[in-house]
Amino acid sequence: MIELGENEVREIRLSILKSVCDVCARRDLKVYPVFSTLLGAVRHEDFVPWLIGAEICLPRPHYDELLTCFDEEAKAMGLKYRVVRPFTQDAPSLVAHIEDVDTAIVESGEPTRGVGVSVYPIDGLGDDPDNARKIARKVNYLCLAYKLKIGDKEAVLREKSALGRLKIRMLARLNKISRIEAAIEASCRERSFADSKYLGVIVSAHGEKTVFERGVYESGEKRNFSSAQVEVMAGYDEFLTAVYGEYMLFPPTEERGNRAFKAYKKDEKIQEKL
């Protein structure tokens, strides 16, 4: 079992990011860095130094096409990358991942998924801003109930209001996980992406903050990201300000840090656990 260092994890994620961008360019799919990866592209032209995650987003129709076509595209390129869809039983997650199949992330002593890139859909939310935010709040409750259901007991604490926390607990208590999954999917796909004035990356920790008029999610300029070039969304400044506030300022040292996990290059011992 060979443990991977932070720089090795970054290099794997960067390689996957480049491959995804290549596939999207060939298929005329829009893909943007999002959350910490967008912040890294704008502020550092690289990964945020104290973070090693990689996150991208695509319009819902393009997201669906990427998840359908990527495995075959990767195989044709000779790459050992694969799509792991949301709500996978052995590695439950709200979002899709594209992972390196020869790696494993270990959390709480057990392998979960491989080192990879998180893939978020940008969903259509209709033409009314108040209703768009209402949909985002509903999806947020469902997502937190899902996390509570899969054993993340801290999930409910991310909701600030006592009434909201009660709703989340009741959703988790009264519904099977499959019903919560179906409700998340139905809520996100309820409005036509093509016909919606308002869009958002609502299956995320920042749900309601990501609700903007369509123009924010149009194609923007190219930015350097380590040894790659990525296209950022046109309204990256509005997006980053909503999510992070004064995003060009570095946070205090004590607030910098990664989620605790270890990553490994697979060997027989890891394979046996998977």
Interatomic CA distance for residues 37 and 16, integer angstroms: 13
pLDDT, residue 49, reads 93
**Per-residue CA distances from 219 to 17, 21, 80, 123 (Å):** 17, 14, 29, 16
**pLDDT confidence bin for 259, thresholds 50/70/90:** low
Q: Which residues pair with 255 in a beta bridge?
A: none
- 122-148 pLDDT, tens digit per residue, is 999 999 999 999 999 999 999 999 999
Interatomic CA distance for residues 191 and 151, integer angstroms: 30
Could you give the 3-state DSSP secondary structure of residue 124? strand
Higher pLDDT, 160 or 196: 196
Instruction: Summarize the confidence of residues 39-51 as an average pLDDT.
Output: 96
CB 214 within 8 A of CB 24: no
**Portion of the chain with pLDDT greater than 90, in percent:** 80
pLDDT, residue 270, reads 46
Instruction: Summarize the confidence of residues 113-127 as an average pLDDT.
Output: 96
pLDDT, residue 30, reads 98
Domain ranges of the chain: 2-121+214-273
Interatomic CA distance for residues 231 and 219, integer angstroms: 7
**pLDDT confidence bin for 165, thresholds 50/70/90:** very high
